[in-house]
Amino acid sequence: MDRILSNQNSRVKAWKKLATKKGRQENRTYLLDGWHLVEEAIKASAKFHAVMATEEQMATHLPDVPHGVPAFEISDEVAKHIAGTNTPQGIFAEISLPDKTFDPTYVHDGAWLLLDNIQDPGNVGTLVRTADAAGFKGVVFGEGTADAYSPKVVRAMQGSQFHLEVLNGDLNEWADALTANNLSVYGSQLNESAQSYRAIEPSTQFALIVGNEGQGMSNELAEKTTTNLYIPIQGQAESLNVAIAGGILMFSLAAGN
């Protein structure tokens, strides 16, 4: 096993580049930070390129690393450098980005979450994790939405990317295709024709669109929905955080919750 003690090491520089979208796209890999995420990747049979850990973490977890995966012992300083935080857990993995295409015209079932220009990584990751918890089949990242495999989104998803479909797509095409396939497409927008989410019967086959933190979902998408929904607010707050609102809607709309 190689030991890496310097931030100037060529491998460390390559791992650090995975914090950028350009680095991930060029290398077709991304980084997991923490044993929970590494373990979820192992369970999902993800393709591993390397495991990197401090001496203590390596001694604890090396026996669980898939056979044949290159393992590197790193210093605490290298761990902080790779993670970009002062208190990393001390174990990382480099794994392949998913390589899949998905045609929405073939989607005939399941619950789907569509993210329209959601920019905050914490909100994005929380929405994916909540969709997983609510039994959704997949999440579609529309234009302007934070990259699914940026470090902050990956941390917030907490491994849920291994449990459901995480896709990039044109949300207008998705809305048209799902409607054509007789799936209800609900928007989260308050307008004159919007209904309270409580008026909708739970189902196992539908899509929910949630929109940008400041502007909400686009008007173009809002016109393509089956129904636009709102959440009645009893107190004096003007609005809800998009991840909170999305969670309320997901658990209310999905049958069985």
Residues of the chain with pLDDT under 70: none
Q: What is the DSSP string of 62-79?
A: GGGSPTT--EEEE-HHHH
**What per-residue confidence (pLDDT) applies to 85?**
84
| Nearest-angstrom CA–CA distance, 80 and 87 | 7
| Nearest-angstrom CA–CA distance, 161 and 133 | 12
Query: What is the model's pTM?
Result: 0.94
| Homologous superfamily of the 107-253 domain (CATH) | SPOUT methyltransferase, trefoil knot domain (3.40.1280.10)
In this structure, CATH architecture of domain 2-96? 2-Layer Sandwich (3.30)
Q: Per-domain residue ranges for the chain?
A: 2-96, 107-253
| Nearest-angstrom CA–CA distance, 81 and 199 | 50
- Over the stretch 5-60, which tens digit does the pLDDT of each residue have? 999 999 999 999 999 999 999 999 999 999 999 999 999 999 999 999 999 999 99
**What per-residue confidence (pLDDT) applies to 96?**
98
| Nearest-angstrom CA–CA distance, 15 and 153 | 17
